[in-house]
Structure 1
């Protein structure tokens, strides 16, 4: 079986040929995300062409093995190829049609090529790090400047889905049919982890809150309720599915402004867009941030969604009223607690304990050692939900 480096090199050879890079030389270096990525091996690539600037690339080679794919139908790589080859191209067309200002657009990394072959799935993009972009430290809470810009970018992503639905309804309907929420894979993961992750949470929280959390989990948490959060929506929208700091690249410009570009589109699915918002907030922030900024960030999302809709010729009052938004936030709010319980153990895992799922199965994702960062974060989330009156 070919190694990830060999698989990547074949694709790079094709890219060099297709783009007519004469006498090109490639330098390929593996990189680590320090436990932030589990489904791919990552590389940075430099293509040197005489008398031209170097071409700086970023590559992902899929490593999810047969065991995991048999337990959870893995469409991650198919989805990301679709995102870069078709969906983001469509979104750019929509933005062009409405002359959306450059600074108010959803931006994406430039796509160079892909390999769809089973067990060799590879995608090659521009290397944003070479342009000064970086990922946020997953062990640190987001700050307001970064959080506000990330939420603004998320609102643009959702607004483009709405514009797609309004302007190309039949085409969008077909997209929704092909991008349905992966309920089977999600259910397998939740069923496997339900007891273990619930025990992690109860063990980690303060003594004063253990019984309250335990009672809440016993009476309010189930696979069915988790699935319902993802499916509930008055308007089915293409959601990101894994919108967290580790999947975003950002840089601060000389004028102090922040740019954010999502770089991982493996989990796009139709569903409830506010799940993306809750997921970002509760996987990326601590209690102190949420005490000061939670409702401000929620309001900022809605304002930016309305602004993005207007940029594409749509009236927010006809699409999604503030009253409807407020009702949806109230309905989706409990999901933040469950997101913390089920996803923070993996997101905050220390590098040396990060799961490897290349040859593993679903237990590789469930059987992990939680970090001290997890205990701090989950305590803060439980405090939040007691304060919200959801845990009593």
Structure 2
């Protein structure tokens, strides 16, 4: 395992001193390991760092650094992804928590994410280790059972409601998270990119027996998908704009469990690289397309939307935004009207979600193409996409 050369006792000592405002803190770097297996995360590199603080106390932190793939690293540096994520941890999430404390007694008894430190390095995010606090992940390929889905969506509802309150209280405070890609001025450029992606998907789908007729439809769906996303990111036109997580799925969640029963009771978010202002339905589609297990999916997701809506309404009223609550029927219509977004999720990263262990190990620019092809030949991916295509066709959307 290659460890960044700047991972030193002095670096982490500086971070802790800045955070605590205490120059007498001493830090010794004890151990460094990867937090996830190779191939599990490809948009960044995550390390778990064990420190000995002031001679005796051990502290476990997670450090997020740019990805190893050159083109991805160039993207996150160019777009200031890590700075925006650091701002989420250091400014936006604390402001949400402050709103909850001031207006919503009992609304946020648990934080929505890990605490973060003032990193001395521009392209690095330093966070508390949630695993050391008893939180754990789930097997993303198996998906979440009903209880985990409910806990996740209720947490998402609180996140959305608190962001709406922050927007109302300080309208310009979230401007860094305005959409810059899916905008009308760039529609032709974005459509061309989506057309290329859906053309690749069509070439795969036409090799599936009984699904050949979907290939020509996929080749012309890019414009419609583009318009759905542009509409869902148009903050000025939305009835209820919120800060969306952007990649809200099981792999970006950690869970806590009751000591007495072992039942899941809380969820915390990780990975705020893709936060954007927009409609809450984007996070809902991302989650519902990627994360429920087969049993939950077979039962339908109506009760999950209802649970999300109930918690959203409760949270909005608690923080003084009850006048902006939308009805459950309106939420369902918004979800239906934006259903093509689920196709974009399936085209862009559902294959990564369902990838078999080893499929994405040790990615390089040279082996990326074959690795992605392996994930798309996965039977689980084929089955999931086939069901989605049939559902969109039955609804007259494809």
Structure 1 segment 286-305 matched on structure 2, within 5 A = 286=293, 288-305=295-312
TM-score, normalised by the number of residues in structure 2: 0.83
Structure 1 segment 37-186 matched on structure 2, within 5 A = 37-49=41-53, 52-63=56-67, 67-68=71-72, 73-101=78-106, 106-117=111-122, 121-169=123-171, 171-172=172-173, 175-176=174-175, 178-183=176-181
CA RMSD of aligned residues (A): 3.2
Deviation per residue, 1:241-266 (Å, 9 max, x gap): 01111111112222424210001111
Structure 1 segment 201-240 matched on structure 2, within 5 A = 201-204=205-208, 207-211=209-213, 213-222=214-223, 224-225=226-227, 227-228=229-230, 230-231=232-233, 233-240=238-245
Distance 1:365 1:268, change over 3 A: farther
Offset at 1:28?
1.6
The structure with the greater share of residues assigned to helix is: 1
Alpha-carbon distance between aligned partners in 1 of 2:93 and 2:74, rounded to the nearest angstrom: 29
Distance 1:69 1:264, change over 3 A: closer
Distance 1:40 1:338, change over 3 A: closer
Q: State the partner residue of 1:311.
A: 318
Structure 1 segment 270-281 matched on structure 2, within 5 A = 270-281=277-288
Alpha-carbon distance between aligned partners in 2 of 1:156 and 1:101, rounded to the nearest angstrom: 12
Select the residue among 371, 382, 387 that pairs with 1:375: 382
**1:330 matches 2:336:** yes
Distance 1:372 1:35, change over 3 A: farther
Offset at 1:384?
3.3
Residues 287 and 381 of structure 1 are in contact (CA less than 8 Å); yes or no, is this contact kept in structure 2? no
Select the residue among 336, 339, 355 that pairs with 1:349: 355
Deviation per residue, 1:78-112 (Å, 9 max, x gap): 22111011111111111111143166555220112
Offset at 1:313?
2.2
Distance 1:218 1:67, change over 3 A: closer
Which consecutive residues of structure 2, in runs of 5 or more, have no partner in the other structure? none
Distance 1:23 1:301, change over 3 A: closer
Give the 3-state SS of the residue equivalent to 2:391 in structure 1: helix
Structure 1 segment 20-35 matched on structure 2, within 5 A = 20-22=24-26, 24-35=28-39
TM-score, normalised by the number of residues in structure 1: 0.84
Alpha-carbon distance between aligned partners in 2 of 1:372 and 1:127, rounded to the nearest angstrom: 34
Q: How many residues align?
A: 378
Give the 3-state SS of the residue equivalent to 1:203 in structure 2: coil
Select the residue among 236, 259, 272 that pairs with 2:266: 259
Q: Which has the higher contact order (CA 8 A, sep 6+)?
A: 1
Alpha-carbon distance between aligned partners in 1 of 2:366 and 2:281, rounded to the nearest angstrom: 32
Distance 1:68 1:338, change over 3 A: closer
Offset at 1:66?
5.3
Residues 165 and 319 of structure 2 are in contact (CA less than 8 Å); yes or no, is this contact kept in structure 1? yes
Moved more, 328-337 or 360-369: 360-369
Alpha-carbon distance between aligned partners in 1 of 2:227 and 2:392, rounded to the nearest angstrom: 17
Offset at 1:123?
1.1
Residues 198 and 341 of structure 1 are in contact (CA less than 8 Å); yes or no, is this contact kept in structure 2? no
Residues 115 and 123 of structure 1 are in contact (CA less than 8 Å); yes or no, is this contact kept in structure 2? no
